[in-house]
Chains A and B, each alone.
Chain A
Amino acid sequence: MSDMKLTLKVWRQAGPSAPGAFKSYPASANEHMSFLEMLDVVNEDLQEQGEEPIAFDHDCREGICGSCSLVINGSPHGPKGGVTTCQLHMRSFKNGDEIVIEPWRAKSFPVLRDLVVDRSPLDRIIAAGGFISVPTGAPPDGNAIPVAKEDSDRAMDAAACIGCGACVAACPNASAMLFTSAKVVHLSLMPQGQPERNRRVLAMVNAMDEEGFGGCTNYGECQAACPKEISVENIALMNREFLRATLHDRDGAPRVAGTM
C-alpha cells in the first residue's frame, strides 16, 4: 500500500449567489481508497482545523444512484471512463498529482454550494413525458405482449442511465440530449411505450429546450463521460423520433404529455 501526497484544487462556493473560487488543499491517500473516501479524509482534517468541509453530493457509493457529480481534471467522474466518481479509486492517480475538482457546469445546473449542483431540470424532463401513462391497477398479464429480446436488451441499455448529468457536464454545449434520448429510446423500444410515442418525444424535447440546455453538435463527449456508457446512437434515434412525431402527430406542437 503506497501512500501518495496530492494537491487538490477545489471549487469552494458558500451558496447559490455567493462568488466562488478555487482553494488548494494538501491531501494524502492510498491506492485502495475511493476518490470520495479521499475527500472524506480531507474533510475530517478540515473540520479539525476549523474549516467547513467541502460539500459534494453522494449517496449509494456503488455507482448506481447517480448522486456523485465531480469534474476531476476536466473530466466528469474523472479520467477512468465507465465509472462514477464514487467508483473511481485512487490507484488512478500518482504521488505528487495536482487534482482540479469542479462542479458540473451548466446554466441549468446552478451551484448550490461548493461541488453540489441543482439537477432538478432532469426530473422535469421526465415529468414532461418520460413515462408510460398506466395507472396502478390491473394491466394485462406480464407475458400478454411478447417483447423481442433484442428490443428489451436495447431498451435496458438505454434505461441503464442513472441520471447523474455527466453528459450535460461533459458536453461543450451543455446539452442534455444523451439523458433525454436514453429515456425516449428506452420507452419507444418497448411495445408498451408505443401509444404515447409521439407525444412523449415532443413533450420531452420541449421540456429539455425550456430548461435551457444546449443542442447536440455530435462531439461525443457525453458518451465518453457516461458512467453507464450510454451510446450516442440514442441521440440519433431520438432525432428520428422527434422528426417523425413532428410530421405525424395530429396535435403537431410539443406540449406536456400528460395534459394533452
Chain B
Amino acid sequence: MHLDAKLPAGPLDAKWARHRAALRLVSPANKRKYHVIVVGSGLAGASAAASLAELGYQVSCFCFQDSPRRAHSIAAQGGINAAKNYQNDGDSAERLFTDTIKGGDFRSREANVYRLSEVSVNIIDQCVAQGVPFAREYGGMLANRSFGGAQVSRTFYARGQTGQQLLIGAYQALERQIGLGAVKMYERHEMLDLVVVDGKARGIVVRDLITGEMSSHAGDAVVLGTGGYGNVFYLSTNAKGSNVTAAFRAYKRGAGFANPCFTQIHPTCIPVSGDYQSKLTLMSESLRNDGRVWVPLKQGDTRAPGDIPEAERDYYLERKYPSYGNLAPRDISSRAAKEACDDGRGVGPGGRGVYLDFAAAIARLGEDTIRERYGNLFDMYAQITGENPYKVPMRIYPAVHYTMGGLWVDYNLMSNLPGLHVIGEANFSDHGANRLGASALMQGLADGYFVLPYTIGDYLASNKLAPVDTSHDAFRVAEAEAKAATDRFLAINGTRTVDSFHRELGQLMWEKCGMARDRAGLEEALRRIPELRAEFWSNLKVLGTSDSLNQSLEKAGRVADYMEFAELMCRDALEREESCGGHFRTEYQTADGEALRDDAHFAHVAVWGYEGPDAPPTRHREELEFEFIKLATRSYK
C-alpha cells in the first residue's frame, strides 16, 4: 500500500496557503463536465455537495435517510469550536492547534490539525451568512462558551442543538442546489459498493431502499462522508442507521482503514435499563460541574441512594483525582466508572451505572439555580427514566460516542485509492486518538466547505480520466455481487434475527474492545467473532423480499459488515501495544492508572489493507512527525 500523506513543507502557518496556491484548477467552463458522487448528507457530505455544485461540478448526492436533513450530525448538542478570539482571551489558530494535538494524545498530523484550526474561523462566518441562529449577546455579538480540554472560550452554539442548526444550514445550501438542478439527490439509497476502474474510484452501486432496485452511478470522483462506526457496539449514542458499510466496502476495494481501534467513550450517558435497550442517550458533560459522582462502598448494595449514609459512599473521582475531582477528562472518568461497576458496586438495573448526585449543589445553590443551569437536561433525564433528578441522584454510565479512526486520507482528503475522497467522521484525519468536545462539527464542515472543494479540483485537473459509464464491466460485476449478497441474506432462512446477532456482537465488543482492552480479551474476541460470523451466515433469519422496503434486510447488510469490521478493530487494538487517548490497554498504564503512550514504537498511524476473504489484513504505517510541538505526557493529577 502506497501511503503518501502529501504534507506540504514549510512553516506551519504557511503550509495550507502555499499548498492551496499550488493546487491545479479546473476552469469554470470545464467544471460542468465533471461528475462528483457524494455519499452521505451530514455536515461533511451536505457541505461538500453544496459547495461543489456551487463551483459548477455536476453532483449526485446519496443518503439512506428519507431526507438529507436527518443525517446524524443533527444530534450533536454542545457546539462548534473556532479560533475567533472574540472573547479576547488569547485564542488563536496556534492555540486551537496545540489543544487539538494534545487532546488527540499526539496521534494526529500537525499539518492537518493546523489547517483545521485555521479554517475554523471561516466556518463560523459561512454559517452566520447562511442564517444559522447562533447564541448572541444582548449587543448582537456572537456568544461563546468553554468546553473540555481548552482554557479559552471558543465554542459557538445554538442552544443545545448546534449540530441541528449547522446541518440545517448545510442542508439548505444543498437544497438550493437541488432546486437549481445542480445536485441530483438520492434519498433512501444505500451505497453497497465502490466501483474501481483502472485503479481509480469511478462510481458506486446503490440499493433503492423503497423498491429494492440496485443501480450503478458513474462519476469522476467519489466522496464518502458516511460517518463513524460506533454502532459496531450495538449500543451507542449513534443513530440506529449509522453504519460502516460504505467505508468498509471501500476498504474491501483497496482503501486503507486507519486506526480503527480509536473510539471515544463519553462518560455521561443514561444507563441501559433493560435488554430491550435500543440506543443510548448522551447527557451533556457540563453536568459534572455541579454533580458529584459516587457509588456505594459496599458491593451489591441495593439500598435506595438516600438511605446510604455519607460514610458508606465512595466519591471515587474526588478520591482518585483530588485536583480535578468530578471534572476529570472523559476517558479517565469513563474508565473509573467501569472499574467501580466491575467491582460489583454499580447501581441501578443490571448494576451498570454510577450516581451523579446534585444534592450537595442543590443544598448550596438552591434548586432554582440548578434548574436554571441544567433544567432542560434534568427534564430530558426525567422523561427517559421517570425519575426526578432533583430528588434522586441521576444514574449515568459511559457510552460509545464517536470514532476517531476511519479511512486513511492524505492532506488532500483523498484515500490511497485515487479518486476516493473521504471527509468528516468517516476519515481518520484530525483527531488522533481522542477528539475534543465541539471539534467534530468543526472538522465535518472544514472538510466539506473549505478543504475538499479545493483539493478535488487538483485531482480532476491532474488526471486524465477516461470516460467511463455504468455499462463498464466493473459496474456490472459490482452490481451483480451486491445483488447476490443481498439475496444471500434472504436465502439463509435460519432462526435468529439480525438484531439478536448485532446485540451479541456489540456486547462482545463492549466487553473486550470497549473502554479498557487487554491482550487476552482481544485474542478471545478474535476467536469469538469468526464463530459468531459463521453462525450469522448460517442461522440468520431475514423475512420478506429484496424488491421492496425491507428494514431487516438493510440491517443485515450493515451487521454483516460489522461482523468483519469488528475483527479489524480488535486486531488494531491488539497490535497497538500502548495506551493513548480512547485506546486504553490495561497492560500499558502508569502506576496511577494513567495511559502510558509508547512514542518510540507507536507514534504512527496504523493503516490496514484488505487482502481478500481468506487472508489476514496487512498493517501499514504512516509515521507521525512532530516538528512544531513537543511530545509530552498528558496529566490531570
Contact = CB atoms under 8 A, between A and B. Distances in A.
A65 B70 contact: yes
A141 B210 CA distance: 44
Name the residue among A14, A48, A134, A148 with the largest chain B CB count within 10 angstroms.
A134
B278 interface: yes
Contacts of B135: 152
Interface in B557-574: none
21 contacts: A15-B549, A30-B274, A31-B386, A32-B273, A33-B276, A36-B278, A40-B499, A47-B497, A47-B543, A48-B495, A50-B543, A53-B552, A62-B75, A65-B75, A66-B67, A67-B70, A123-B67, A132-B130, A134-B129, A136-B51, A149-B140
Contacts of B67: 66, 119-120, 122-123, 163
Contacts of B137: 149
Contacts of B139: 146
B310 to A, nearest CB: 29
A61 B239 contact: yes
Contacts of B138: 149
A41 B276 contact: yes
A101 interface: no
B459 interface: no
Contacts of B165: 156, 159
A89 interface: yes
B70 A152 contact: no
Contacts of A133: 176
A136 B453 contact: yes
B551 A142 contact: no
Given A62-B75, A142-B127, 20 more contacts: A14-B548, A30-B274, A36-B278, A40-B278, A44-B500, A47-B497, A59-B65, A59-B70, A65-B70, A87-B384, A91-B386, A112-B210, A113-B210, A118-B66, A123-B185, A134-B126, A134-B129, A142-B124, A162-B164, A193-B131
A64 B75 contact: yes
A23 to B, nearest CB: 15
Given A53-B551, A61-B239, A187-B131, A138 B75 contact: no
Band of interface residues on A: 35 or more
Closest 4 interchain pairs by CB? A146-B140, A127-B179, A139-B129, A131-B172
Interface string B17-57: 00000000000000000000000000000010011001000
Interface residues of B, number: 84
A256 interface: yes
B636 interface: no
Nearest to A31: B386
Nearest to A149: B136
Contact of A37 (B129, B178, B276): B276
Given A59-B239, A152-B133, A139 B65 contact: no
A91 B383 CA distance: 10
B171 interface: yes
A237 interface: no
B450 A136 contact: yes
The residue in B161, B173, B179, B349 that gathers the most chain A C-beta atoms within 10 A of its C-beta is B179
Residue of A58, A126, A129 contacting most chain B CB atoms (<10 Å): A126
A136 B140 contact: no
Contacts of B133: 152-153, 155-156, 159, 186, 190
A222 B3 CA distance: 55
B242 to A, nearest CB: 8
A149 B137 CA distance: 6
B159 A40 contact: no
A34 interface: yes
B128 A259 contact: no
A138, A142, A146: most-surrounded residue (chain B CB, <10 A): A142
> Max chain A CB contacts within 10 Å: which of B47, B176, B241, B495?
B176
Interface of A: 1, 14-16, 30-34, 36-38, 40-41, 44, 47-48, 50-53, 55, 57-62, 64-67, 83, 87, 89, 91, 112-113, 116, 118-120, 122-124, 126-143, 145-149, 152-153, 155-156, 159-160, 162-163, 186-187, 190, 192-193, 256-259
Contact of A142 (B125, B161, B179, B541): B125
A38 B176 CA distance: 39
A163 B69 contact: yes
Contacts of A192: 128-131
Most B-side CB within 10 Å, residue of A47, A66, A113, A132: A47
B449 interface: yes
A158 B240 CA distance: 27
Contacts of B86: 143
Contact of B172 (A44, A55, A130): A130
Nearest to B242: A59
A255 to B, nearest CB: 11
A138 B140 contact: no
Contact of B278 (A37, A66, A116): A37
B441 interface: no
A131 B587 CA distance: 53
A180 to B, nearest CB: 13
A134 B132 CA distance: 12
B142 interface: yes
Interface in B50-109: 50-51, 54, 65-70, 72, 74-75, 84, 86
B484 interface: no
B320 interface: no
A52 B125 contact: no
Given A51-B543, A139-B126, A37 B277 contact: yes
B125 A140 contact: yes
Given A41-B276, A112-B210, A149-B138, A127 B175 contact: yes
A169 B281 CA distance: 27
B549 A55 contact: yes
A57 B66 contact: yes
A146 B141 contact: yes
Contacts of A50: 543
Contacts of A60: 70, 72, 74-75, 239-240
A55 B551 contact: yes
B176 A258 contact: yes
B168 interface: yes
A89 B179 contact: no
A149 B159 CA distance: 13
A65 B72 contact: yes
Contacts of B72: 59-60, 65
A52 B138 CA distance: 56
Contacts of B550: 52
